[in-house]
Amino acid sequence: MDISIHQTFLPQDDPDAALTFYRDTLGFEVRNDVGYEGMRWITVGPVGQPDTSIVLHPPAADPGVTDEERRTIVEMMAKGTYAGINLATKDLDGTFDKLQADGAEVVQEPTEHPYGVRDCAFRDPAGNLIRIQQLR
């Protein structure tokens, strides 16, 4: 079997702030920016990796989500417990310094974990947890 990750979805409640964070702070390229009925879906991805994308979407835009579920999703996003993604870099300290200098919300400074991973963590403007691991 030959399976790869094509897209993953992260909610965003402020498309302009999300775009600034993922494009300007993380350095991702914008692949698509689609508006529909006052909502925006923005597709971004790492430069040089055209087959891997993150779709930044309005929370609970699915018509099958109830109002109560939508409120729960918005509450979880505000707490930073709804969604997240793990990214990787060859230069964790340099990446951390740039994100911190750009004003990203630091959750965890670069840390060596006993299970063999060195990483740091930030929150994006919507509260999603962004963990960045150092490639070995």
CB 122: neighbour CB atoms within 10 A?
Answer: 23
Q: What is the pLDDT of residue 60?
A: 74
pLDDT for 4 equals 84
Domain ranges across the chain: 7-134
- The reply to whether the predicted model has a pTM over 0.85 is yes
The per-residue pLDDT for 87 is: 96
Q: Which CATH number applies to 7-134?
A: 3.10.180.10
Specify the pLDDT at position 97: 97
Taking alpha carbons only, the member of 40, 49, 42 closest to residue 6 is: 49
Q: Looking at residue 125, what DSSP letter applies?
A: T
At 97, which helix (H) or strand (E)? helix 92-101
User: CA dist 35 to 8, 80, 122, Å?
Assistant: 19, 25, 27
Mean pLDDT, contiguous 10-residue spans, the chain (136 residues): 90 95 97 93 96 92 87 89 94 96 96 94 95 91
